[in-house]
Structure 1
Amino acid sequence: MITFITGGARSGKSSFGEALVKKAATVPADVLYIPTAKAYDEEMQDRINKHRIRRPKEWETLEMSTRFQGLEINSDFVERSVVMVDCLGVFVTNRMLLKERDFDQITANERDQMEKEIQREVKHLLDILREKEAFIVSNEVGMGLVPEYPMGRIFRDILGRINHEVAARADKVYFVVAGIPMCLKGEDR
C-alpha cells in the first residue's frame, strides 16, 4: 500500500509521515527510511541533522539522492516491510542538477528528456513499493506564484506532474497545511 503525503514547505508533512510510519511498523527495526537530501551547505546539513534526531534510531537509513534503480535488490530494502521516502521534491532538484545545464537556454527536447529520466526513476520506485507499506513525501508546488526563472518553472512543472502520477497510483493521499493533515484519497475520507 502506498500513502502519499504532500504539503508546502515547513507544513509538517515529514513529521506527519513519520507518525504514520511509526503506527504502521510493529517493530521499529522493520522501517527503511530513504532520505533524498544532500548536504550542499551548512543550512541543509542542519535540516538533515534535525530529521535524523527526530527519527527513531532503530530505523535503517538508505540515502538515495539521484537514483531509485537498484533499490529492489538492496538488502535493507528487501528485508524491511515499511518504507518512507522523503522527499520527491528534493529528488527532482537533485536530478535536475545532476548534469550541468543552462536552464535559461535549455531546449524543449533537453527539458523533455530530463523529465522522462526523472519520471522513469519515480515510476520504478512506485512499482517496487507496491509490495511494501510505503510512505512517500513530496512538496506541493501547484499553489504558488509562477516562478520568475526558467529553472523554477521547469522544476514546478516536473514535480507537479510527478505528484499527479504518484497521487493517482497511491492508495491514500494526504495534504498537510500548517501541521494539519487532510485526507484527500483513501479510507480516512
Structure 2
Amino acid sequence: MFYVVTGGSGSGKSAYAENLVLSLGEGRRIYIATMMSFDEESTKRIARHRKMREGKQFETVECYTGLDSVRLKKDDIVLLECMSNLAANEMYAQGGAGEKTEEAVMAGIRRLLQDVRHLVVVTNEIFSDGMAYDESTVEYMGHLGNINQQMARLADGVTEVVYGIPVCMKGGKKNEASA
C-alpha cells in the first residue's frame, strides 16, 4: 500500500504518518530521513523527529538525493520524511538531479513501491499562503507540486492533516491513525 500524508508546518502530519506506519502491521520499519543538517534550526528539527520516533522501532536510512539507489526488503514498512526536503536536495545540492528532479524523485518512489510492502511519504502543503516568491522558489514549488500530484495519482490513500485532524482525500479509511 502507498500512502501520501500532507499538511502545513506544525500540522501534526509527522505524528500521523508515524502512527499510520505503526498501524500497518509487523515488519521492519524503515525511516528514510531526507533532511540535511545545515543550521541550528534544522539540527533541532532533526532531533525533535528522532525523539518522536523513540521506542517505535524504526531503523533510519539517510537519503538526501538518489532515492532510487536505496535498496530495502520486500516486507519492509517505509516512512519517507519528507518529500519537500528530498525535492529541494535534488534541485539544489551538489550531485542532485537539478532540472531532472521530478524524474529522479519519481524513479525512487516507483523503485520503493516495487521493493517494499508499505510506503508512507510525508510532504508539505506550501502552496496556499499567497506570497510572491523569487524565480528559484517558484521553480521549486512547481517541481514539488508536480511530484505531489504524481504521488497522489499512484497512492492508495492521501491524507491531509489540518490542525492535527486527518482529512482523508483519497482511499483508505477516515482517521486511520490518530496523531
1:119: which partner in 2?
102
Q: Which residue pairs with 1:68 in the alignment?
A: 67
Alignment deviations for residues 37-67 of structure 1 (CA, whole Å, 9 cap, x no partner):
0110111101101100110342110000112
1:8-87 paired onto structure 2 within 5 Å: 8-27=8-27, 30-57=28-55, 58-72=57-71, 77-78=72-73, 80-87=75-82
Residue 114 of structure 1: how far off its partner (Å): 3.0
**Cα offsets for 1:145-171 (capped at 9, x unmatched):** 143211221111111111000111101
Normalised to the residue count of structure 1, the TM-score between the two structures is 0.83
CA contact (8 A) 1:31 1:80 kept: no
Contact 2:74 2:117 in 1 (8 A): no
Q: Does the Cα contact within 8 Å between 1:141 and 1:159 map onto a contact in 2?
A: no
Q: Which residue of 2 aligns with 1:95?
A: 90
Deviation at 1:187, TM superposition (A): 3.1
Give the TM-score of the pair, scaled to structure 2.
0.87
Contact residue 13 and residue 164 of structure 2 kept, 8 A: yes
Q: What value does the CA root-mean-square deviation take over the aligned residues?
A: 1.9
Tell me the percent identity.
Answer: 31
Query: Which residue type is aligned with residue 5 of structure 2?
Result: I
Task: Give 1:129 deviation, angstroms.
Answer: 2.6
Structure 1 Cα separation of the partners of residues 90 and 152 of structure 2:
20
Partner SS state of residue 129, structure 1: helix
Instruction: Give 1 or 2 for the bigger CA radius of gyration.
Output: 1
Q: Is 1:149 aligned with 2:134?
A: yes
* Structure 1: 5+ residue stretches without partners: 101-112
Aligned to 2:164: 179
SS at 1:164's partner residue?
helix
Q: Which runs of 4+ in 1 moved over 4 A?
A: none
Partner of 1:105: none
Kept in 2, the 8 Å contact 1:36–1:65? The answer is yes
How far apart are the structure 2 equivalents of 1:56 and 1:170? 27
The 3 A distance-change label for structure 1 pair 144 and 47 is same
